[in-house]
Amino acid sequence: MSNVFGQLFRIATFGESHGPAVGVVIDGCPPRLPLTAAEIQADLDRRRPGQSDITTPRREADVVEILSGLFEGRTTGHPLAMLVRNTDARPEAYAEMRTAYRPSHADYTHQAKYGIRDHRGGGRSSARETVGRVAAGAIARKILALAHGTEIRAYVARMHDLAMPPLRAFPSLRQVEASAVRCPHPATAARMIARIKQARTAGDSLGGVIECRVRGVPAGLGEPVFDRLDADLAKAMLSLPATKGFEIGSGFAGTLLRGSQHNDAFVRRAGRIATATNNSGGVQGGISNGEELFFRVAFKPTATILRPQKTVTTRGAATELQARGRHDPCVLPRAVVMVEAMAALVLVDHLMRHHAQNRAFKF
């Protein structure tokens, strides 16, 4: 079931980029949770296209409709279905892609797998599919905040070869949202915006890295073998379109250290067991240790670019293709909220599993 994610807090997304609508069904949302459409809309507004001059010019309001699972302002515990209608689709811009494969896109692989594909904007392989993830993630985020005061904050840390200085303090939402590129370092953000505009003018695209920090995660979430918290976070992040890498804590840089340098010493802080450093990124042995979660996700340059590229037709004949659709020259600014949503979905699912195993019975 490739369209289903989670075990106890399960989501199933549906819809195509240029179809009538996209959305999500959540099964396992706890009952009696106070919820309004406005709370979900806030995250969808951060994800929607056309919000600045460095994103795709496609104009979608992305207004969420809650179809089921909500009664008198509270969740019922039954499947919660949410829908967002596509109102600015232009499938005619993708006519050439019916018979030609875009380089590094999912056109060929979808055809190879299913024998049929929706060429209009990539269908299910489009980032438009993430509307449902973000809507579900907004609910997961609220559950985590109410349960443990958990805060999730992602931001653009590097774009192409432009990297911001390391952040010492947990960034505020205001800092992240202060620039269209969602980099909390103003000087670096300005350079990133200029670089995106240069790439767009050249008909090209850029990639980079999003960092995510999560505080208020209780110790004990995750499983020690196949469902390790870090492994599930990696799967969640690499399921997002255009992702190519994941690392947590010290990541690959940790390979340059010795064990004596890398180990996180245990200390007592504010009446609880803590660690003096956090090279582990908040996870040890696949289970959260109560420290801040810290991980990074690498995104490749957008595959669809507005310059001629060599490719082949569906019959294998050599041809040249130049995209005419509306695309992000860099996915990073809008991917920030997608990363937060997937982190929230992983954490709420593991929180529910932890409670089911450890609090359902008293012995």
DSSP code string of 95-159: GGGGTBPPTTSSHHHHHHHHS----STTGGGSGGGHHHHHHHHHHHHHHHHHHH--EEEEEEEEE
Q: For the residues 12-23, what does the mean pLDDT come to?
A: 93
Give residue 136's pLDDT.
98
d(CA 299, CA 297): 7
Which CATH number do you get for residue 187?
3.60.150.10
What amino acid is encoded at 39 in this protein? E
How far apart, in whole angstroms, are the C-alpha atoms of residue 327 and residue 306? 9
Residue 301 lies in a domain: yes
pLDDT score, position 321: 87
Given a cut of 80, whether residue 50 has pLDDT beyond it is: no
Span 337-360, pLDDT tens digits: 999 999 999 999 999 999 998 876
- DSSP secondary structure code for residue 201 in this structure: H
CA distance 262 to 180: 36
Say what the pLDDT of residue 358 is. 87
Residues in the chain: 363
Rounded to whole angstroms, the Cα distance separating 157 from 55 reads 18
- Percent of the chain past pLDDT 90, that is, above it, reads 79
- What is the residue whose two structure tokens read 């370092």? 185
Residue 42 falls inside a structural domain: yes
**End-to-end Cα distance, the chain:** 36
**Average pLDDT over all residues of the chain:** 93
pLDDT of residue 326 exceeding 80: no
Q: Is residue 363 part of a domain?
A: no
Q: Exposed/middle/buried for 265, CB within 10 Å: 0-12, 13-18, 19+?
A: exposed
Is residue 222 situated within a structural domain? yes
* Res 279 pLDDT > 80: yes
In sequence order, what are the beta bridge partners of 66? 82
- Condensed to tens digits (0 to 9), the pLDDT of residues 167-191 reads 989 999 999 999 999 999 999 999 9
Long-range contacts of 90-93 (CB under 8 A, 24+ apart): 90/18, 90/58, 90/325, 90/326, 91/18, 91/120, 91/121, 93/324, 93/325, 93/326
DSSP of 31-71, one letter per residue? TT-B--HHHHHHHHHHH-TTSSTTS--------EEEEESEE
- Other C-beta atoms lying within 10 Å of the C-beta of residue 182: 23
- Which amino acid, one-letter code, is at 101? Y
pLDDT band at 122 (very low <50, low <70, confident <90, very high): confident
Number of structural domains (the chain) is: 1
List the domain range (segments joined by +) for residue 115: 4-358
- Sign, CA torsion 219/220/221/222: positive
In what helix (H) or strand (E) does residue 348 lie, and over which residues does it extend? helix 332-358
Confidence (pLDDT) at 188:
98
Question: Residue 284 falls within a domain, yes or no?
Answer: yes
Note whether 281 and 295 are within 8 A (CB): yes
Q: What is the pLDDT of residue 49?
A: 77
Residue 254 forms part of a structural domain: yes
Residue 133 covered by a domain = yes
Task: State percent of the chain over pLDDT 70.
Answer: 98
Residue 286 counted as domain residue:
yes
pLDDT > 90? residue 252: yes
pLDDT in tens, 148-161: 999 999 999 999 99
Q: What is the mean pLDDT of residues 54-58?
A: 76
